[in-house]
Each structure stands twice: as structure tokens, then as C-alpha cells.
A and B are shown apart, each in its own frame.
Chain A
Amino acid sequence: MNPVKPIGEDDMPRDAELSRLYRDAVAGEPPAALDRLIVGAAQREAARQPRRRSGAGWRRWFAPVSLAAVVVLTVTLTLLVHEERERDEAKPMAAPAAPAAPTADSVKPEIRDERSVAPALPPPPAAPAPQPERKRAVPPAAVPLQKASPEPFPGGAAEESMSQREARSADSAAQRDAAQPQVPLAAPAEPSATMRAAPKEAKPQPAPAPDTAAGAGPAAPLRESIGRAEKSAQTPAAWLEEIRELKRQGREREAQEALVQFRRAYPAYALPQDLR
């Protein structure tokens, strides 16, 4: 007879010879009557209790359905977070532009009053250096920006109203900025009068159409001077808004140049977070 040796990985004591002997020797079966009794009882029990197919089906599908639900939930959450992030990234660019228009249009009378009363509005540059001034008028960003504005650049009376509106909106933006602590309010307010006078100087001159101005020699200086006048009429807030608009349009280089000009013109002006 073989010794009791561990066989297999589970160190199970086995004796193959004994096993063979046992299988040859062992006998005994339950009586058939007992079989019938037990199977009959099992059938009666199965018939008595209703089938639980639905439960079994649910149990069978529980794991895959749970897995699918988790996957769908995860993907949905990921997309939502992604969208949220994109919206957050877009917000700082779009946010300042949105309130500017309604403020300018709807609070017009108030602003006029404030303008006449409040001298502490954020000042436009006292006397911007001619060099940056010219440069600022040159960037092509100014033209599309005006094109993109709700009213086209018409000239004449319309031009006046637009420049006035711009000035007003700039003032209102400046007021908003004044509410923020980082915006310096120290600059003098008197230049605003000259600034506002500038569009009036430019006003009588006829404004050429943008496309014709491109090729017309004598019209170019005229347009430049108008642009300069327009720029000089801008408050820092309006200028920054233009820079934002450039950035929004993806014209990074021009925006950068405009920002450099701005910094030259307003070295003490604290730039908003999104333009730093």
C-alpha cells in the first residue's frame, strides 16, 4: 500500500490505492421509494411556490446593468465637468462685455448726470504721447471692432451718437471699475473734457467707408486722425474692452500690441486679472 503522501498543490493527504479499494468495496444506494418520496416532495414544493423568473433575470442582469450605469454616470459627469470648465474659461473673457452694453443704453440719463457731477471718474490719459497714439489708431483691430459693434460706423450724426455712447459706456465701465479696489482713481479727471471734445473735432470730417479707405491715399490720414480721435476719446475701461474683444477674436498679437500701448498710455492703471 502506498504511503500517505500529499498530492497536488493543496497538500491534501491521499492514498490512491486506498481510494481505489474503497471505490471497489463501497456499495449502498438509497431505496427507490425514498427517491420517489424526496423528488415528489421537491416537485410539490416547486409547484407550490411560484417561479421567480423575474427575480432570477434581475439577478442575472444586475451586475452588467450596474456596470453600465456606472460607466454612463462617469461619462456624463466627465462631460459635465468638462463643459463647466470650458464655460468657466470663457466667462472671464465674456463677462465684462455683457453688462457694458445694457448699462450704456439703459442708464443713459443717469450717466450723463454723473458725468457732469462726478469728477472722480477713472481718467483718460491727460495727454497721451503722440507716438503711442498714432500706433493705437493704426491697429486694424479698431475697424473690425467697430464693425462688430451693434451699430455700424456711419459717420456724421450717427458717428457722434456712437462716440458719445462709447464714451458713456466707457464711463459706466469706469464707474464699475471704480467700485473695485485695484483700479486707481488718482488720475485727474480734467482730460475727459478734452477727450470728449476730440470726437467732436473729428466729427465734421467725413468718415470714409472702410473698404474705400484702404486704397485711397488722401483719405488715409483722415481716417487715421479719426481713429486717433476715437482712441483718444476712449477711457481705459473701453480700451481694455477693445483689447478683450481682440483676444476674443483670437487676434492675440494685436491684442498684445494694444495692451503694450495701453500700458504705455496708462502706466499706473491696474490691469484686470484676465489681461495680465
Chain B
Amino acid sequence: MDCDSAGLFGYTAAMHEAMTDEALMLAYRDGDAVAFESLYRRYRTRLFRYLQHQCGDARVAEELYQDIWLKVVGARVHYEVAAKFSTWLFRIAHNRLIDHYRSRKSDVERSFDVRAENDDDDPPYDAVSELPAPAIDRPDVQLDGRQLAARLLREIDALPPPQREAFLLSEEADMTLDDIAATTGVNRETAKSRLRYALTKLRSRLQDLK
């Protein structure tokens, strides 16, 4: 009996692994709790790291993380596939973060305003800074891995929140520009600009380490 149950569970789990995010969420909506577990496993780390970097506080990140997943659970009954599940999930996370910034009366919320973003003191796009650095000058060659990783994470945290968000969505959620734009509620060009600035800044700041 146990063997049968285990076999059935294994079969169900394998079936769930082959399903898309949206199909899993639909299955969960229809009462399949195991489908939710599969979905949760896929996104738990990605979402947590996104929140961790975005709010810079592990405790707050955990709180937000729990809120977001409970929102997903609560929205299950009315769930329809209107977008990619990842876009939907990170859109909830984005909105929850904005609420968080707002509750703290932080200036960070304002930085997500596209009009305010025009006043950002980002340097104009510099093509020269995008020239490839000689391999010998590359910071990853000169620094050991751990130092470089610590520096990279600090530089990521130092990015303006919209640019950091674009970078994190690209890296953690493996999103395209369209997905990032849909998640953050901006147009594609703005999303592209944010990501480009994020990458340029990270690269230039890490070059200083040589």
C-alpha cells in the first residue's frame, strides 16, 4: 500500500515536473496541492533572493516573501492565465515592495516613478565605457572569487532600486525585456534602459578593483 502510494506520488511529482508554471497553477486552483508544491519549489529561491536584494534586510524579505506567497494562495480561486506565471508572481512582489517602500515613507518609492527617473543623476550612456577591458585588467582575474562575489553583491545593492530590480528580474527570474516591463509596469524601452544602466554601472564599478 505504501509502495503504491509512493509510486503514485512519484508519478504525480514527475508529471508535475513536466508541467508549465501556468498549468501547475491551474492544477492548484483546481485543488491539486501537490501542484503548488512543485510551483513553490521552482520559485522559492528566485523570489527570496529578489526580495532580499531589493529590500536589503533578510527579516523584511522573509516577511514580504510570506505575504507574497499567501497572496498567490489566496488568488488561486480566481486565477486565469493572463500572463506568464513568473510575470504574475513578480508583479505581485513588485507591488508588495512598493507598498513596503511607501509604508516606510522612503524615497525609494519615488525612484520607481518613471518621470522622477529622468532626474536621476545617471551619467549619459557612454559608449567608450562599454569597450571590452583587457583580460589582464579584468577584476575577476585579479581578485579571488569570494572577494569578487562580495563586491558584486554590494554593488548590486548600491544600484538604484529600479535598475537593481531590472537586473535581478533578468538574472533571477530569467525574464526578457517584455517580461521585465510587464512586471514593473513600465514600457519596454524604460526596462531596457534600466537594465543597460545597471549592467554598465556594475561593470564600471567592478573595473575600479583592478
Contacts and interface: CB of A to CB of B under 8 A. Distances in A.
A45 B74 contact: yes
A31 to B, nearest CB: 7
B91 interface: no
Contacts of B74: 45
Interface of A: 1-5, 10-15, 17-19, 21-26, 28-31, 34-35, 37-39, 41-43, 45-47, 49-53, 55-56
A5 B129 CA distance: 12
Given A13-B199, A21-B149, A28 B49 contact: yes
B82 to A, nearest CB: 14
B31 A51 contact: yes
B189 to A, nearest CB: 10
Nearest to A22: B171
Given A25-B150, A29-B44, A47-B33, A18 B177 contact: no
Contacts of A24: 145, 149
Contacts of A53: 30-31
Contacts of A28: 45, 48-49, 52, 58
Contacts of B26: 56
B136 interface: no
Contacts, number: 129
B69 interface: yes
Interface stretch (B96-104, B106-114, B200-208): B200-208
Given A35-B40, A38-B40, A42-B28, A4 B45 contact: no
Contacts of A31: 62
Nearest to A55: B30
A23 B138 CA distance: 18
Given A26-B49, A30-B62, A38-B69, A1 B206 contact: yes
By Cβ-Cβ distance, the 5 closest A-B pairs, closest first, are: A25-B149, A51-B31, A3-B130, A46-B33, A4-B199
A53 B28 CA distance: 11
A30 B58 CA distance: 9
Nearest to B74: A45
Nearest to B125: A4
A26 B167 CA distance: 13
A26 B171 CA distance: 10
A28 B170 CA distance: 18
Interface string B76-105: 110000000000000000000000000000
A41 B40 CA distance: 12
Contacts of A10: 176-178
Interface in B120-149: 130-133, 138-140, 145, 148-149
B195 A13 contact: yes
Contact of B45 (A5, A19, A30, A39): A30
A34 B45 CA distance: 12
A46 B36 contact: yes
A19 B171 contact: yes
Given A1-B139, A1-B140, A39-B40, A56 B30 contact: yes
27 contacts: A3-B131, A3-B132, A4-B130, A4-B196, A12-B176, A12-B195, A13-B196, A14-B199, A17-B138, A22-B171, A25-B152, A26-B149, A28-B45, A28-B58, A30-B44, A37-B66, A39-B36, A39-B37, A39-B40, A42-B36, A43-B36, A46-B28, A46-B31, A46-B33, A46-B76, A51-B31, A56-B30
